[in-house]
Amino acid sequence: MDPGNRADPYPLYEHFLASGPLALPDANLVVFPGFAECDEVLRHPASANDRLKSTLTQKQIAAGQRQARPFGEPGFLFLDPPDHTRLRGLAQKAFAPKVIKALEADIVAMVDGLLEGVTGTMDVVADLAYPLPVAVICRLLGVPMADEPLFSRASALLAGGLDPFVAVDEDNAEDNTALLEAGTWLRQYLRDLIEERRSSPGEDLISALIAAEEDGDQLTSEEIVATCNLLLIAGHETTVNLIANAALAMLRHPQHWAALAADPSRASSIVEETLRFDPPVQLTSRVAVEDIQIGDVAVPKGDIMMLLLAAAQRDPRTYDRPGEFDPDRGVIKHLAFGKGPHFCLGAPLARLEASVALSALAARFPNAQLAGEPVYKPNLTLRGLATLPVTV
């Protein structure tokens, strides 16, 4: 949790990998750093995403510790079947392959517009990685361009609320005012937008979610709000990190930048290796809904299983040369988008945005170089760069 680890947490992850799983019975927590264990937890049928099923949360409720919800009602990412199955199934229709494919021309135009006129120096985060995903998600949702900066600010604030052990106490929220206000503003904005689309549908995602129906079942307004909330935070911040992390890795390994500048088709392998080598989501967690065995560890019912994804993807038992950035390593397997029923719904869109952005960046500026040390945001779960200065 120490912000001093953000710039390079990987030596610490190596320590976790060498030590193996860490059981903390008094905290009702088990930490898994290895690839095999993380992979098994993500696929295990007794592995839940609903935090209300954890012993820790039940203890807090029993002790009268109330926590405000800056995100409002949980999106389907934090639900389990059958609710998760129903909501994801309805939302997935709005992410059909043809919908994503239809966005490609718009994304290319957005990237060209962002890079047009850049000379001398640029900040890859501020000038490209940050504005692109929020523009895409706002375009998807049907949010007016004038409101995109407000969405960016809300997204940045709410991303910090995803870190473990970040409790928002509604009885003492002084230190969390900005986080709570951002959540309240975003939910009300989305409610108003949904009402507009109910009376005047468009070609946007909110209109598609309103129309999505299966066996007579439709999403309620609050379910659409929660889904859009999830898509904004999970789909924006993670893609920002993916683009910036990939750019930094190539700038530190210039041969890959030059190779991508010469051959744009390499973008997909750059993206996949970045997802393994320096993932946008560093960790996630699950709850054991019954006593289960993960590898050599017995996990009691109700314990939270923290999965150190960024450590797992540098596990020497799974990868050769795990600490080396090598887009040419062949088949690149990773857990960056999760696995099983909660596999990331927006994975194809994130891959498309990052591939277009990185190939355009390298092609336009083949001789780019780092112009100073990058700075990291304080976020742990969605670890990413705050600035990435580059001479072009």
Residue with the larger pLDDT of the pair 98 and 288: 288
Structural domain spans, the chain: 67-278+325-391
Give me the pLDDT at residue 174, please: 47
Classify residue 253 by its DSSP letter.
S
pLDDT more than 90, % of the chain:
55
Over residues 272-281, the mean pLDDT reads: 97
Q: What is the pLDDT of residue 170?
A: 43
In this prediction the pTM is 0.88
Question: Residue 135 corresponds to which tokens in the numbers above?
Answer: 């523009």
Note the pLDDT of residue 216. Answer: 66
Cβ atoms of residues 54 and 67 within 8 Å: no
Find where tokens 């609710």 sit: 83
Please, what is the average pLDDT of the chain? 87
Q: What local confidence, expressed as pLDDT, does residue 81 receive?
A: 74
Q: What is the DSSP string of 340-382?
A: GGG--TTHHHHHHHHHHHHHHHHHH-TT-EE-S--EE-S-STT
CA dist 275 and 331 (Å) reads 13
Pairing of β 369-370 and β 389-391: antiparallel
Please give the pLDDT value at position 230: 78
**3-state class (DSSP) for residue 53:** helix
Lowest pLDDT segment from 64-78, 111-125, 129-143, 165-179: 165-179
CB atoms within 10 A of CB 90: 22
Take residue 177 and report the two structure tokens written for it.
């005012």
Residue 69 has pLDDT above 70, yes or no: no
Give residue 176's pLDDT band: very low, low, confident or very high (50, 70, 90): low
pLDDT digits (tens, 9 = 90+) for 195-210: 999 999 988 888 888 8
Residues 275-288 have a mean pLDDT of 95
CA distance 12 to 17: 9
Cis peptide before 82 (omega within 30 of 0): yes
pLDDT digits (tens, 9 = 90+) for 204-255: 888 888 887 655 677 788 888 888 887 777 778 899 999 999 999 999 999 9
Averaging pLDDT over each range in 73-87, 164-178, 199-213, 363-377, which range is the top one? 363-377
92's tokens: 């997935």
Provide the CATH topology of domain 67-278+325-391.
Cytochrome p450 (1.10.630)
46: closest CA among 302, 284, 312? 302
Q: Tokens for 377, please give them.
A: 């945001």
Write out the H or E segment, with its range, that includes residue 385.
strand 385-387
Per-position DSSP letters for 196-223, written without gaps between them: HHHHS--SSHHHHHHH-EETTEE--HHH
For 74, which DSSP code? Answer: P
Least reliable range by pLDDT among 41-50, 58-67, 119-128, 280-289: 58-67
What's the rounded mean pLDDT across residues 327-350?
89
Q: Has residue 173 got a pLDDT over 80? A: no
Most confident stretch, 173-182, 188-197, 342-351: 188-197
Question: Hey, which residues does 23 pair with through a beta bridge?
Answer: 30
Cα 375-238-359 angle, rounded to 5 deg:
80
